[in-house]
Amino acid sequence: MNYYNSSDFKLYKGNCIDILKKLPENSVDLIFADPPYFLSNNGISCKAGKMVSVNKAKWDVSSGFEKDLEFNLNWLSEAKRVLKDNGSIWVSGTMHNIYQIGYGFQKLDYHILNEISWFKPNAPPNLSCRFFTHSHETLLWARKDKSSKHKFNYNLMKEWDDNISESGKQMRSVWSIPLTSKFEKINGPHPTQKPIELLKRIILSSTDKGDLVLDPFNGSGTTGIVSKMYGRKYIGIDLENKYLDLTIKRLDSIKNKIIVTERQGASKF
């Protein structure tokens, strides 16, 4: 289970539901989850101008509506147990899974705070030419229940340059953020890697320094990298060694940058 352990950065290998059950109740300040979208259905997509298969891995293959829903309800239930009373949870998805997530939030008595549309200005074209081009994902933000108080760094978000609303005005619920750059994949690729800018907004809006962030679907570790960059503690869970190793490589590369900037007395990144 324990794959990597430091004072403020932990990685666990295994099924997220099994590992979540072993974590203490009311121990996590923020959860970001990028669960399977169940998109691997032998379809096609466009990558770098070429036709490619949408198939990613077994974990992205649907087991049918009822089993997919059961899986989502199970991990959301355990996520709620480990979340602090004033904590919050963000989940990303598309039309393939986000409605089950929203249903799960309501069934488990979470309180939904916002629905964010992540607009991708450089989204690839639709090769079939039979549908509108898929150019956004949906993020649902919720707190533990209606009576709990969540953390929101309003002023920081108000001053953020988000390419849509002017700095000094309230940040809107549409975020224009390009797809993950090649530079962010320099240590290795992951098929569903999220851009650093997306996780910066989520983590900095919903946590303070020293808070504990959990990602039950660690992937390439972007949630953990941003947490480390900005002084948060982190727990990541994943099934595959190669992605846990990729996370460690990314962590090692930013550790050196943090040391240099701290020695120079500069602000991090």
**pLDDT given at position 191:** 80
Closest CA relative to residue 225, chosen from 248, 191, 201, 202: 248
115 backbone dihedrals φ, ψ, rounded to 5°: -115, 115
This prediction's pTM = 0.88
Q: Assign 262 a pLDDT band (cuts: 50, 70, 90).
A: very low
**The pLDDT value given to residue 190:** 80
Model pLDDT for residues 133-165, shown as the tens digit of each residue: 889 999 999 999 999 999 999 999 999 987 676
Q: For residue 136, give the H/E element and its range.
A: strand 136-143
**Sign of the dihedral defined by the CA atoms of residues 206, 209, 213, 218, in that order:** positive
What does the alpha-carbon distance between residue 66 and residue 234 come to, in Å, rounded to a whole number?
A: 32
pLDDT higher than 50, residue 53:
no
Secondary structure class of 29 (helix, strand, coil): strand
CB 62 within 8 A of CB 68: yes
Residues shown for the chain = 269
Rounded to whole angstroms, the Cα distance separating 29 from 228 reads 15
Q: How far is the C-alpha of 105 from the C-alpha of 112, rounded, in Å?
A: 7
Provide the greatest CA pair distance for the chain.
55
* DSSP character at residue 169: S
Q: What are phi and psi of 215, to 5 degrees?
A: -125, 110
Distance, in Å, from the CA atom of 31 to the CA atom of 227, rounded to the nearest integer, reads 11
Q: How many CA atoms lie within 13 A of 80 on its CB side?
A: 21
In terms of C-beta distances under 8 Å and separation of at least 24 residues, what long-range contacts does 254-261 make, across chains too? 254/225, 254/228, 254/229, 255/228, 258/228, 258/229
Any idea which residue has 């190669």 for tokens?
242
Average pLDDT over residues 230-253: 96
Q: pLDDT by residue (tens digit) across 112-132?
A: 999 999 999 998 887 778 889
Which domains does the chain possess?
2-263 (3.40.50.150)
